[in-house]
Amino acid sequence: QKEVEQNSGPLSVPEGAIASLNCTYSDRGSQSFFWYRQYSGKSPELIMFIYSNGDKEDGRFTAQLNKASQYVSLLIRDSQPSDSATYLCAVNSPSGGYNKLIFGAGTRLAVHP
Amino acid sequence: EAQVTQNPRYLITVTGKKLTVTCSQNMNHEYMSWYRQDPGLGLRQIYYSMNVEVTDKGDVPEGYKVSRKEKRNFPLILESPSPNQTSLYFCASSFSAGGLEQYFGPGTRLTVT
């Protein structure tokens, strides 16, 4: 079973700091990587995706991908209390002739004022 | 508004009473999928569909059925629900037949007593 691993947290950061969320994956054939944000009791919301090695920035969010080391990370700059949520890493796993998304169990982020 | 809708949002039922959870998307997406989310286990795929009349099993298909007769609809059927199917269910869709960049519905919280 291909796996996606995340630290469950909680990761506690002060308001205005950088939050760094990490994810490792086992399937070397994976090509696409996604970060979802999930507020308690709500559905996952796609916030970032990255397909190439390196960094991808979107507003306060930066996704970083290192395929050689099989890890992907999400940086949140100037963290706000509204960023407090569980962040799910998802990795495509090409197997059996189709792509499927494998989700990590998520990292809970708590941003305190 | 582009969205994935699910009904009902909350359902309490008894063991063995057949039920259907509907899912509909208005984005003309090729791919649709059902997940269940349980504490500590993350999101697990139940069934997916890459196109009309094309469905296949995900990781945890036992006890569930699906159909894809129209592109926009992908209902989840529990023929004889059991308490271990008590969970939070999400429908998702993607423009990509490979299931990348999936967008989630609001979720259905099911309790089977």
Q: Quick: pLDDT tens for B59-113.
A: 899 999 999 999 999 999 999 999 999 999 999 999 887 778 899 999 999 999 9
In B, minimum Cα distance to A98 occurs at B98
pLDDT of residue A1: 62
Specify the 3-state DSSP secondary structure of A20: strand
Contacts of A37 in chain B (CB under 8 A): none
For the sheet with A4-5, list strands across it: A4-5, A19-25, A71-76, A61-66, A54-58
Contact A87, A35 (CB under 8 A): yes
For the stretch B11-60, pLDDT in tens is 999 999 999 999 999 999 999 999 999 988 889 999 999 899 899 998 89
Residue A36 CA to residue B22 CA, distance in Å, equals 23
Contact A98 B98 (CB under 8 A): yes
Nearest to A112 by CA among A70, A74, A84: A84
Residue B31 CA to residue B13 CA, distance in Å, equals 29
- A24 bridge partner residues: A5, A71
* Option in B44, B58, B98 nearest A99 (CB): B98
Instruction: Show the tokens assigned to A1.
Output: 């079973």
Contacts of B36 in chain A (CB under 8 A): none
Contact B105, B94 (CB under 8 A): no
Is the pLDDT at A96 greater than 60? The verdict is: no
pLDDT of residue B17: 97
Mean pLDDT of chain A: 92
Q: How far is B111 from chain A (nearest CA, A)?
A: 15
**Peptide bond before residue A10 is cis, with ω within 30 degrees of 0:** yes
Contact A63, A56 (CB under 8 A): yes
pLDDT of residue A43: 96
Contacts of A46 in chain B (CB under 8 A): 101-103
What is the per-residue DSSP string for B39-70?
TTTEEEEEEEEEETTEEEE-S--TT-EE--SS
pLDDT of residue A92: 87
pLDDT tier at B8 (50, 70, 90 boundaries)? very high
More confident: B60 or A98: B60
Contact A105 B40 (CB under 8 A): yes
Contact A15, A113 (CB under 8 A): yes
